[in-house]
Structure 1
Amino acid sequence: MFPHTPARRRAAATAAACALAVALAGCSGTTKDSVEKSSGGAQGSNAKADPDAPLKKNLKVAFLPKQINNPYEKIVDEAGIEAAKEYGGTGKEVGPSDASASSQVSYINTLIQQRQDAILIAANDPNAVCGPLKQAMKRDIKVVAYDSDTAKDCRQLFINQASSEEIGRSLVRNLGKQIGYRGEIAILSATQNATNQNAWIAFMKDELNKPQYKDMKLVKVAYGDDADQKSFQQTQGLLQAYPDLKGIISPTTVGIAAAARYLSDSSYRGKVVLNGLGTPNQMRKYVKDGTVEQFSLWDPKKLGYLGSYAAAALASGQITGAEGEKFTAGKLGEYTIGKDGEVILGPPTVFSKDNIDDFDF
């Protein structure tokens, strides 16, 4: 046994400390991976915001959509990547081809290894991505959820398209008017775990409890998993199972386009009302041929643009994610962070034959 001299004890202590830290950063100096400033999620961290700090140059931001081939999220992400160029940063989009709960995890791990300054994620599942996102925040990588939120302690900000309550209730109000507040209705959603879809559906169900909807009955919530063919088949299944169905709400751009395609070539066209969330370019032909009277959405380009600037403000220290903090999102102007780190883009737009040709996205 070797004697425990002071020098040997110091050497042993140093070796132990290095071994403990090696999984995080090694013992070769301070890097982004060695910084242990966990943000603590939407409530911000011990760090102080400096609203006068300039946006850092050469920031690296990565967009991780629900699935890489989702046309709506492609619009969002490309707008965010273009916004990064405005503030002197670089952006990219990576992601899975399917929208399963855990499909985004490996991409988060890779982005951590690449030392991105910010990860922007539209979560397929609010909890499945939390472990790696928390690891990202421990390494001082900022995390911004957009479109579909994570659990609140797994990101600093959530960029919401519009108030979840307003989206859910307005879709029911719009459909109610169209079917005279009477008859069976169904909802065609995306995935069962999608945070945004479930929040909207909860408000739809609550709205339906009001007296004016007493003659309307929600018979089914179907899930097309944001896949075109499955959403098409789910629409067909709904109409076969419920021949007296009067209306369908599809709060997903993939779902509403697939449902419209089915209805347009079926005997149900003009008999079953379809409403929901879609893009003008996807839905234009169905509005003009009478399959769909109206649908709603916000401008996805603005959503991506806002998300990109919010990530840059976080990475530059202008904000921490705390309620009441303000930041400027380029040409969109100033935004204020709300409760639980939520930033709301603005109210949705209702599209119909009267205005659909005014939009191109």
Structure 2
Amino acid sequence: MKLTAPSTRLTALAGAAVALALVATGCAAPTPGGSSGGGSGSAAGKNYSIAFLPKNLGNPYFDASDKAGQQAIQGFGGTYKEVGPQQATADGQVSYINTLTQQKAGAIVLSANDVNALCSAIGQAKAAGVKVVTFDSDTKPGCRDVYVSASSTELIGQKQMDIMAKQIGSSGKVAILSASANATNQNAWNDAMKKYTASKYPNIQIVATVYGNDDDQTSYDKTQALLSQYPDLKGIISPTTVGIAAAARYLDSKNSPVKLTGLGDPQQMVKYVKDGTVPEFALWNPQDLGKLGAFAAKALIDGTITGKQGDKLQAEGLSNKTTEFTVGADGVITLGPPFVFDKSNIDQFKF
């Protein structure tokens, strides 16, 4: 994400071992801004040329997920390429989808920057025989073949508010520092959080939702503005790896009593967890998410799944030890439940 990640990232939850945590043709030259590697792209006559298209490049969350996807792809004899825009925009992703289609990729695994804007390009890719897996952040269900979800929308929203409620005594004003206004996963988590708060924590008031656009400086500035606008603010929830790290840096520099949680990259958050700025935060294992995305692409290429509810697929090497997954309603494949990071476990996670 930049969790966006959520990408929905920082989407932000695998089992007990969880934590935080592409791919087009092997014969084509690497697209500018991307990287490639792997074998021939063909195994047993299958086109295992699989491209990962994150929301943007240079995001630690997607670096982790995509490298793990590369390992899975190379493990079953495919070729890997990662391509993507420098900024998290839908227009930037569209151009890469079109290029990968022209290059006859076997599959594209992407974290969508917009729920609607990518659908036309994805439709052309599918018409050309390219399988399309979304992960971390989805498009409309009718656009792609399957969506690999880190967790359920409801569990992600609830977990963040449960952590915040614990820190502020279930009472007070809270703000949300989100990614971009069009990030589908972020918006869904935030909506679920708001509904859950209204029913579970009536004394907590969500006073604002602001957007840092998965940019470090913008997120830092939005944090400063929130504290200025709401001097009695008790907490900030940031469901994005970029946003929570930037907010933590600001609060830490000011020795602010405002509480902070959300979805974060463990490696970025170690300092702030240990000094008490962020006692707890959540995420999923982006490495597991990347691997599951790769195996979902393989299953689509093999024809063992089509995106129909009840389809079964196999995956290997996930930290939660799960090897079989079932396609749910609307073609959704769910990785697992949320995981909470704190002082007791933060040092175990190096990605």
| TM-score, with length taken from structure 2 | 0.85
**Conserved? CA contact 1:296–1:348, under 8 Å:** yes
Name structure 1 gaps, 5 residues minimum. Answer: 1-53
Q: Paired residues, what number?
A: 305
Match of 2:346 in 1: 356
For 2:221, the equivalent position in structure 1 comes to 233
Residue in 2 aligned with 1:68?
57
User: Is contact 1:58-1:88 (8 Å) kept?
Assistant: no
CA distance in 1, matches of 2:188, 2:149: 12
2:164 aligned residue (175, 195, 213): 175
> Is the alpha carbon distance of 1:135 and 1:123 closer, same or farther for their aligned partners in structure 2, counting shifts above 3 Å?
same
Partner of residue 92, structure 1: 81
Contact (CA 8 Å) 1:59, 1:117: kept in 2 or not?
A: yes
Superposed counterparts of 1:111-260, under 5 Å: 111-210=100-199, 212-260=200-248
2:330 is aligned with 1:340 = yes
Does residue 295 of the first structure (1) align with residue 285 of the second (2)? no
Q: Indicate conservation of the 8 Å contact 2:46/2:301, yes or no.
A: no
The CA deviation at 1:116 is 0.2
TM-score, normalised relative to structure 1? 0.83
- Cα distance in structure 2, aligned partners of 1:154 and 1:58: 21
Q: Distance in 1 between matches of 2:46 and 2:110?
A: 22
Structure 1 position 305 matched with structure 2 position 284: no
Letter in 1 for 2:235: G
Cα deviations by residue, 1:257-294 (Å, 9 ceiling, x for unpaired): 111111110141xx111000011101001111111100
User: Quick check: which one's helix share is greater?
Assistant: 1
Higher RCO, 1 or 2 (CA under 8 Å, sep at least 6)?
A: 2
Tell me which amino acid in the other structure corresponds to 1:216: I
Q: How does 1:99-118 map to 2 (within 5 A)?
A: 99-118=88-107
Question: What's the offset of the Cα at 1:318?
Answer: 1.0
User: Aligned partners of 2:135 and 2:45: how far apart in 1?
Assistant: 22
Per-residue displacement from partner, 1:122-151 (whole Å, max 9, x unpaired)?
A: 001011111000010111100000000011
Q: Distance in 2 between matches of 1:90 and 1:348?
A: 31
Change (3 A) 1:56 1:202: farther
Give, in whole Å, the separation in 1 of the partners of 2:186 and 2:266: 20
Q: CA RMSD in A?
A: 1.2
- Indicate if the aligned counterparts of 2:216 and 2:243 stay in contact, CA closer than 8 A: yes
Q: Which residue of 2 aligns with 1:331?
A: 317
Higher radius of gyration, 1 or 2: 1
Whether the aligned pair in 1 keeps the contact of 2:47 and 2:301 (CA below 8 Å) is no
Distance in structure 2 (CA, Å) of the matches to 1:101 and 1:238: 28
Identity %: 54
Q: Deviations over 1:191-240 (max 9, x none)?
A: 11111101101101101111x42221111101011111111111111111
- Separation (CA, whole Å) in 1 of partners of 2:317 and 2:54: 24
